[in-house]
Amino acid sequence: MTPKVLDIWVYLSATPLLGLTITLLVYQAAYWIYQRANFNPLLNPVALAVATLVLLLTLTGTPYQTYFDGAQFVHFLLGPATVALAIPLYAQLDKLKSLLLPLLAALLAGALTAIVSAVGIAWLLGASRTTLISLAPKSVTTPIAMGITEKMGGLPSLTAVLVVATGIIGAVTAKYVLDFLRVRDHGVRGFAVGVAAHGIGTARAFQVSEEAGAFAGLAMGLNGLATALLFPLLIWLFGRD
Amino acid sequence: MLGAITLLLVYQLVGEVIALAFKLPVPGPVIGMLLLFLTLLARGSVADGLRNTANGLLSHLSLLFVPAGTGVMVHLGRVAGEWLPIAAALIGSTVLTIAVTALVMRALMSRKERA
């Protein structure tokens, strides 16, 4: 780099503008590819965007904290977006009432499976205690999962990464798992993805159909609540520190 | 739109305050979501502005996870050291959760239809 370009870089890399702009640019490029590929689940836009950003930050030697100073404005919106889930939830009120029992039973089964199987598998394969705690709330949306991990003495930032990875895995695999099980109802498909893979699964479900998306949003909200309420169970699983 | 965003933030803030004041294990935004849901139930309708803003925010939901996901670069050491338990737990548990949730819901729905 010539000195002048270097000066501009030094200035820009110190402002939040760059981290914010690069997040939006990279995500939209990733989404464009995803759209071009007819929403093929294997080209998940979050996975593409994260991989590109990690590569860019590593190549430019930019610390994550510097990047996050800008990207936090996007991250912040997770809170209001969680509150906004009340609206699709309310829109499905009639269905919600008529399917109350199947929904609640599926929610409870799914929420427990998500926690117990993740911790169980990792424990069997010898993961550390910190990793186990950080894994436990992986199926719920980031602000909720981070809150839970923090209170239990895990690493909230590691949980955030595991939550995003879970969302990507859910969005990528759901179609194949549900096709294999011959689950065709869009309400059921959406709800299953929402319980297992929170917002990223929900975003994927909205791309498949409105009904799947609404049920996924509902599942995501309910599982956030259920997992937060199952919190005492987690403490019992790990014992208090 | 400004009104709707303000409304969402106010509900989140009230949720955070309630969670802190009563030391609830439930995070603030979830309480905010519940309160907004109850408000909508009581009102019986959703204002157009609120619906549009919420839909706009939720249609880009996956973007909001990108900054947190990029944090993987900070944890590369731990993830590399424990890659097998982490990968197996994430993939195994996610696939299991999708399957269990879908099968339980479908089983109870068809029983209901049969009744």
The overall longest dimension of chain A from CA atoms, in Å, is 67
Asked if B50 and B102 sit in the same domain, the reply is no
**Domain limits for position B51:** 1-59
Whether B40 is covered by a domain: the verdict is: yes
Asked whether A196 and A114 are in contact (CB, 8 A), the reply is: yes
Of B50, B82, B98, the CB nearest to A170: B98
Q: Are residues B32 and B11 in the same domain?
A: yes
B58/A148 touch (CB, cutoff 8 Å), yes or no: no
| Proportion of chain A above pLDDT 70, given as a percent | 95
Q: What is the mean pLDDT of residues B38-65?
A: 91
Q: Are residues B96 and B43 in the same domain?
A: no
Residue length of chain A: 241
How many structural domains comprise chain B? Answer: 2
Q: How far is B21 from chain A (nearest CA, A)?
A: 15
pLDDT more than 90, % of chain B:
61
**Domain residue ranges in chain A:** 3-76, 84-238
Is A236 buried (19+), middle (13-18) or exposed (0-12) by CB count in 10 A?
exposed
pLDDT of residue B58: 86
From residue A95, alpha-carbon distances to A215, B41, B55 in Å are 9, 14, 19
The reply to whether B1 and B55 lie within a common domain is: yes
In a domain, B65, yes or no: no
The answer to whether residues A45 and A27 touch, using CB atoms and an 8 Å cutoff, is: yes
Mean pLDDT on A168-178? 95
Residue A13 has pLDDT above 90, yes or no: no
Q: Specify whether B38 is located in the same domain as B74.
A: no
Q: Per-residue pLDDT averaged across B63-67, rounded? A: 92
* Interface ipTM: 0.88
Per the structure block, which two tokens stand in for A10? Answer: 């030094």
Contact criterion met (CB below 8 Å) for A157 and A101: no
Looking at the structure, tell me whether residues B4 and B48 fall in a common domain: yes
The answer to whether residues B12 and B38 belong to one domain is yes
Cβ A87–B78 below 8 Å, yes or no?
no
What pTM was estimated for this model as a whole? Answer: 0.86
Q: What is the pLDDT of residues A73-97, one digit of tens each?
A: 999 998 899 899 888 888 888 887 8
Token pair, residue B66, equals 């990108």
Q: Do A162 and B27 touch (CB under 8 A)?
A: no
Q: Are residues B52 and B83 in the same domain?
A: no
On the question of pLDDT at A2 being above 70, the answer is no
Residue A147 has pLDDT above 90, yes or no: no
Indicate if B20 and B51 belong to the same structural domain.
Answer: yes
